[in-house]
Amino acid sequence: MIQKLFLSDRLYLANVGATFMSQLFSALSVLYLTPRLFSALGQEEFALYGVILNAIVFGGIMDLGMNIGMLRRLIHEKEKTNALFSSLFITYSIFFLMLCLGTLILQILFPNIFSGIPPGYVYVLILLIIQNIIAALLDVMIQSSQKIFKAKIIRIIKTIAEFTCIILSLKSGSLERILLIMVVLNFLYIGSLYLYAYYEIHFKLSIANFNFQTLFAHVHYSFWYFLTTLSGVLVFNSQVFILNQFAGPALLAEFVVFTRFFEIIRTSVSNFTVVLFPAIVTQERDHDRRKVLSMFTSAFYRTAIILAIIFVILFVFGEDVFVFWTKKQVNFDSKLFILFLVFTILILFDNVSALFLSALKLNRLTTIVSIIQGLLVLVLTTLTVGQYGLVGVVLSSILALCMTSLLFNPIYLVKNLKSNTVG
């Protein structure tokens, strides 16, 4: 049983193994750096650092869902690779210039519009957002070949380089220098992804391949992926901005530390299913619904086994690990730790069906449900943060999830897989 669940597909194992190793290096980096950054930057700058990191993720919605839509289309319509890639790459580059120009105009007209964030940081933030979007586009190009493990090896090298450079710069206590390191290494990372994607797929980036009709058709094709991404950032990242607005830097910094700790677990475990995306699309293209249902069942059981082990380990040892990790720089609340753990486990259960629904492009109703979940998170967090602090924030997330996606997604997926058609 265990061998069938985990050891039956070599490409899957290679992709999962490399993805897991990538996340392991990222996790170790976050685990080591977070308390040291908190100490080196101080409470206020660390809170600003947390806001910037979340703004980068939030800014990812600016791709309008086109990157994830690109992955499906590269598998279904490989002949359009050059037109799609050139149209998206050039559009992102133009969008970056427009954002910088618009920001400059806003700063001239409204000098205090970016209160709380130093003006120069805004341009760095825009650059980091566009870099991440372009890196995701190139990563999608590689994923379409199903050789995800090679892109992850490149990412591991980037993570190690970034970790080393930030460690060497910690003594300066400068957030500017840390952001500069991120920008420079992102350029090198993008260049490496581009070279490998070109080697694997042999696409051609050219202005001559830019096509407005192709671009607009792809925006339309990706619309529901955009809304899915929007719902995701509402659920996972909007609370930082609410805390930044309604709470002090101390509470925000504490929230960032907790979320960074549990984000490591969430991203690591989700790797066991996220690498299935290209394979799911391929089976859907070939109209093999039984295979997709079998893949979902296997992925669900794999995740359940892993989550049960993780829950027991963290329930028993997690609090001591967290206190040791933070070096007692954060006020520890046992109840808050358990709530974060429960929310993380529930989210990972939901991720399995959510990934399959996204890959099968059965994401209209699920996206609407996710947006409702995100709006519930915003409303409940705003109502509870003042009286209940971070406990109210996490309870808001758990309640919103249980009322929406956690119940709807698996039922809707299985119903569609057992019906006569998919999509």
**Contact in structure between 283 and 290 (CB atoms under 8 Å):** no
Closest CA to 36 of 145, 170, 151: 170
Length of the chain equals 423
Q: For residue 255, how many other CB atoms are within 10 A of its CB?
A: 26
Mean pLDDT of the region 5-34 = 69
- What pLDDT was estimated at residue 151? 79
CA distance 273 to 286: 20
pLDDT of amino acid 286: 66
pLDDT of 118-176, one tens digit each?
Answer: 667 788 888 888 888 888 888 888 877 767 777 788 888 898 998 898 888 887 767 88
31 versus 130: the higher-pLDDT residue is 130
One-letter identity of residue 109: L
Distance CA 374, CA 368 (A): 10
The two tokens of residue 129 are 């957002």
- What b/e string do you get for 190-215 counting C-beta neighbours within 10 Å, with b at 16 or more? bebbbebbeeebebeeeeebbbeebb
The DSSP H or E segment spanning 266 is helix 249-274
- pLDDT at site 16: 66
DSSP class of residue 117? S
Q: H helices within 327-404, ranges in order?
A: 334-359, 364-403
Determine the pLDDT at residue 2: 46
Can you say whether the dihedral through the CA atoms of 287, 290, 295, 296 is positive or negative?
positive
**Model confidence at 206, in pLDDT bands (50, 70, 90)?**
confident
Scanning 148-237, the segments in alpha helix (DSSP H) are 148-169, 175-201, 212-221, 223-236
334-345 pLDDT tens trace: 888 888 899 988
**In the structure encoding, which two tokens stand for residue 319, read together?**
């609090």
Contact yes or no for 35/325 (Cβ under 8 A): yes
Collapsing DSSP to helix, strand or coil, 112 comes out as coil
What is the spatial distance between Cα 230 and Cα 250, in angstroms, rounded to a whole number? 28
**Burial zone of 414 (CB within 10 Å; 0-12 exposed, 13-18 middle, 19+ buried):** middle
d(CA 423, CA 417): 9
Q: 241-252 pLDDT, tens per residue?
A: 777 777 666 777
